[in-house]
Chain A
Amino acid sequence: MVKNRIKINQDSKALSIFEYIVMYGWLVLVLFPFIWMISLSLRKTQAVFKNLFFQSFKEITFENYYYLFKGEFPYRKIQVFFLNALKNSFVVTAITVIVILIIAILAGYAFSKLKFFGRSAGFYFILAGMMVPVQVIMLPLFKIVKIFGIQNTLLSIIFPYIAIGLPLSIFLFTGFFKNIPDALIEAARIEGANNIQILLKIIIPLSKPVIGANVIFQFMFNWNEFSLALVLLQKANLYTLPLEITKVQGQYMTPWNIFATTAMAAIVPIIIIYLIFQKQFVSGLTAGAIKE
């Protein structure tokens, strides 16, 4: 018995040493690119290839961040429209998320609480849109935005983003609304409330978790989206952050410290939002996967 317990303890000790090595080893790997990029962004161009990290604090300079917000780096006159791209990303993401929320809440309410002919057929019809990869429809979208005359405006990606985001959001809202008891809605109806009043007074106040999950999910998707933006946004003044980063890193011989500065500045907003709302982030980003 005693022998057995000792063995278990030894097992347990070996296991926990193994656990420390695995977890903190991976942590180092996760952190390394960030730390390296930060160290690049704080160095002058000539110092980038000398060592992995800076050797003394004397090498540290914040001038790259100053140039980034000024919009132009003195080396080879490289221009980075960082603030403009940040603004574009913000405008695109904000409009897209708000419109998706409104449209998806309306449709989710109809699909879960109203009876009409073709309801479930319509639901599955829209749901099927989740299976369509962006790259499959990007060539025709290029044509369609021209037909609508919205090429060279941010609307040319906002409209497709809304359409692409809707199926998942409708799916999540419909599922959530189904669990709200019908009795609540019937009671309100008897008191003379119409559907819009029911939505505003009863459904939406009860739906904070699902709204939060949708906001995070759609925010992340649209903030990071690259392929459609690459095809549809032709003018440099319309570039969103992912496009601007790609432009900076792809320019012939862009010094690495300039890329690193742009990249680090670009992730600050999202990391801050994540650290504040990380519970909601995890539930939002995994909502599509496990709420089957």
Chain B
Amino acid sequence: MKKKVFVNNLEGYLLILPALVFYSLFILYPLFNVFKSSTFKLNTLSQQGSFIGLLNYSELFKDSIFWRALLNTSLYTVAIIFLINFFAIVFAVIIDRGKIRGNYFLRVMFFIPSILPPVLVGAAFKRIFAPFGALNMILSGIGLSVLKHNWLGEPSWALLAIIITTLWQCAGWNMVIFLARLKEIPRELYEAASIDGASEWGIIRKIKLPLLKEALAILIVLNIIGGFKVFDLVYVMTGGGPAHKTEVLTSLLYYQAFNFHNYGYASSIAVVMLVIMLLFSWLRIKGTLKG
């Protein structure tokens, strides 16, 4: 009897061993390492630097660019949460009602942007928002030349342009998840409501929207995590500029490491990011357990 348990033990360990090896070498070890690096002054990645304790962190918290990056990341995240989910819910409700032609086609098309590489989307939108780009051409074409801007070059527009690009890419993805939730609602519920005299709008407001709350909560947390990780779009569209107006945590980390060779300092940004992510992931898990 005892032997059997042992054999089972051994086989279990053997089967998870490959996963553990990859996980330890390429996730766990780097995690410990980044904590360690954040307490060193490192100007090359291969050599040992000098131990400086928490100096990187005290520098970081005094750095106005870090706070600007944190602010931009938060602004970006809040904006995409509101915009993406607002549009996604509107689209999902309309498709679910099934009252307009081409429903299926619309759903397939709306999802396409979410399968594209973000760098490609960013590079294309960089040209749409460029001084001689599509948006300005359209504005002059319809006689609104006064509204023309160097969208990615002007501090007040650049972050908004990146937010719009994210909305373009991600609305369809969230829509599909809301749609899956709406499909679970039994149709009899609508019939019963309309017999009781509820209007179409009343059914949407009183039955459909409340049922999307749970999905919305999950998507908000996913959008927060995604928002704090944003890098590709910023890197290709603005590189963090102009004047750090689109600098986000990831771009700051990248430029500190690979342009300025402050690897220790960059590691302390990574640790701050990790803490923020763990906080949100914890919220997600807590939300899941509740729901």
Report which A residues bind B (CB closer than 8 A).
4, 8, 11-12, 15-16, 19-20, 22-23, 26-27, 29-33, 36-37, 49, 51-52, 102-104, 106-107, 109-111, 114-117, 119, 122, 126, 129-137, 139-144, 146, 159-160, 162-164, 166-167, 170, 195, 220, 223-224, 226-227, 230-231, 241-242, 245-246, 249-250, 256, 259-260, 263, 266-267, 270-271, 274-275, 278, 281-282, 285-286, 289-290, 292
Is B124's CB under 8 angstroms from A23's CB? no
Is B134's CB under 8 angstroms from A52's CB? yes
Interfacial chain B residues near A104, Cβ < 8 Å: 19
Interfacial chain A residues near B23, Cβ < 8 Å: 126, 129, 163, 166-167
Is B100's CB under 8 angstroms from A20's CB? yes
Output the least CB separation between B253 and chain A (Å): 6
Output the least CB separation between A104 and chain B (Å): 7
In the complex where A52-B137, A289-B177 touch, is A133 in contact with B267 (Cβ < 8 A)? no
Kindly state the separation between the CA atoms of A136 and B35 in the bound complex, as whole angstroms: 10
12 inter-chain pairs at a CB distance below 8 angstroms, sorted by A residue, are: A23-B106, A26-B171, A27-B109, A114-B15, A117-B9, A129-B27, A134-B229, A135-B231, A140-B37, A143-B46, A144-B33, A285-B115
Chain B 85-123 per-residue mask, 1 if CB under 8 angstroms from chain A, else 0: 001001100110101101000101111111111111101
In the complex where A103-B18, A117-B9, A136-B273 touch, is A144 in contact with B29 (Cβ < 8 A)? yes
Output the least CB separation between B175 and chain A (Å): 10
Q: Quick one: closest A residue to B42, CB to CB?
A: A139
Q: Quick one: closest A residue to B219, CB to CB?
A: A289
Q: Quick one: closest B residue to A141, CB to CB?
A: B30
Report which B residues bind A (CB closer than 8 A).
5, 8-9, 11-13, 15-16, 18-20, 22-23, 25-31, 33-34, 37, 45-46, 87, 90-91, 94-95, 97, 99-100, 102, 106, 108-121, 123-128, 132, 134, 137-138, 141, 168, 171-173, 176-177, 180-181, 197, 199-201, 215, 218-219, 222, 225, 228-229, 231-232, 235-236, 250, 253-254, 257-258, 263, 266-267, 270-271, 273-274, 277-278, 281, 288, 291
In the complex where A129-B27, A135-B231, A146-B46 touch, is A37 in contact with B124 (Cβ < 8 A)? yes
SS class of chain B's interface: helix, strand, loop or mixed? Answer: helix
Output the least CB separation between A245 and chain B (Å): 5
SS class of chain A's interface: helix, strand, loop or mixed? Answer: helix
Is A52's CB under 8 angstroms from B138's CB? yes
In the complex where A249-B236, A270-B115 touch, is A103 in contact with B22 (Cβ < 8 A)? yes
Interfacial chain A residues near B257, Cβ < 8 Å: 139
Interfacial chain A residues near B11, Cβ < 8 Å: 110, 114, 116, 195
Interfacial chain B residues near A141, Cβ < 8 Å: 26, 30
Query: 7 nearest interchain CB pairs?
Result: A116-B12, A163-B26, A140-B30, A137-B30, A110-B15, A140-B33, A224-B117
In the complex where A22-B94, A23-B94, A135-B254 touch, is A270 in contact with B116 (Cβ < 8 A)? yes
Output the least CB separation between A91 and chain B (Å): 17
In the complex where A49-B132, A107-B16 touch, is A139 in contact with B37 (Cβ < 8 A)? yes
Interfacial chain B residues near A266, Cβ < 8 Å: 117, 120
Q: Quick one: closest B residue to A227, CB to CB?
A: B231
In the complex where A159-B22, A223-B117, A292-B218 touch, is A29 in contact with B168 (Cβ < 8 A)? yes
Kindly state the separation between the CA atoms of A144 and B27 in the bound complex, as whole angstroms: 11
Is B113's CB under 8 angstroms from A30's CB? yes
Q: Quick one: closest B residue to A131, CB to CB?
A: B281
